[in-house]
Amino acid sequence: MKKALKRSARFLQRVTGLDPKALANARYFPRYWRELQAFRAQGGTVERLWPILGDYHDSSGSASGHYFHQDLLVAQFIYTANPDAHLDVASRIDGFVAHVATFRAIDVLDIRPLPPTAHANIRFVQADLMQPQPELQARYPSVSCLHALEHFGLGRYTDSIDVNGHRKGFDAIAALVAPGGVFYLSFPVGRSRVEFNAHRVFAPGEPLEWADGRFTLERFDYVDDAGALHVSAKVEDAAALDYGCGIYTLRKADQ
C-alpha cells in the first residue's frame, strides 16, 4: 500500500507539477509565522520572506537510496583500482563524476551538453552512446555507466526512440572497455518493465545475458526497495525487489 501511494504521489508531481510533500509542509506555516514574529520582536530586520517549511522535520541529510550508495561505492572501487584511465557514460555529474574527479581525471560522455565546469579533472565529450564509437573502441581499462542505461531509447534525454536502445547502449559501451578491463554498471532492478518515458526496470539477471561471452560478473551489490545497501551479494538475492538498484562489476575477457 505504501509503495502504491508513493508511486501515485510521484505521478501526480510529474503530471501536474504539484509536490505533495510541499503541500503537506503547509502545516508548519503557523510555526514559521510565530518564529518570524519572535525574530522581529528581538530587533531583527527581514528583507525578504522565504519560507523553508520542510526542514522542520527533515533529518540532517540522506544516507540511503540508489544514487547515494552507487556513487560512493563505485567511486571507492575506482580509487582502489587506480586504473590508467577511466571513462564514464552519462552518470550523475554532481554525484558520481564529482566524487571521482576529486582524486583523478575522468573522461565523460553524454548525449546532452555539459556547461563548462572549471574543473580540469572532468573532460567532457558529447556523444550518443546508442551509436558505436569506433575511435574509442577498447581504449579504456575502466568504464562506468551508473543509473543511465535504463533511459536509452525512451526519448527523455533527447535521445531517439528505440525499443532496443538499452541493448544498443550496452553493446556500444562494452566495446569501449579494453580486454581485461572493468565495466561498472548500475540501473533499476525488479520486475522487468518499461515505465515510459521515465525508465526501464530490469530483472536482476538480464545484464548477465547481455554480457555472456564477453564479461564475467566479478561482484554484485544492490540497493533494496527501502534504500539500504547490500554488499557482495548474489544476483538471486535481488529477485524479489520491486524497484531496487543493481550494481554490477563486470570483467571483460582477455583477447
Nearest-angstrom CA–CA distance, 52 and 54:
6
Alpha-carbon torsion (32, 13, 113, 181), positive or negative: positive
* Three cell numbers, residue 126: 558529447
Q: What pLDDT, on the 0 to 100 scale, is given for residue 2? A: 57
The residue whose grid cell reads 509503495 is 3
Contact 182, 215 (CB under 8 A): no
Tell me the per-residue pLDDT of 131-157, one tens digit each, with 9 for 90 and over.
Answer: 999 999 999 999 999 999 999 999 999
Task: Classify 245 as helix, strand or coil.
Answer: strand
Q: Which domains does the chain have, with CATH numbers?
A: 2-56 (no CATH), 66-252 (3.40.50.150)
Number of H-type helices and E-type strands within the chain = 7, 10
β 122-126/106-110 pair status: parallel
Tell me the per-residue pLDDT of 85-119, one tens digit each, with 9 for 90 and over.
Answer: 999 999 999 999 999 999 999 999 999 999 999 99
Q: What pLDDT, on the 0 to 100 scale, is given for residue 55? A: 87
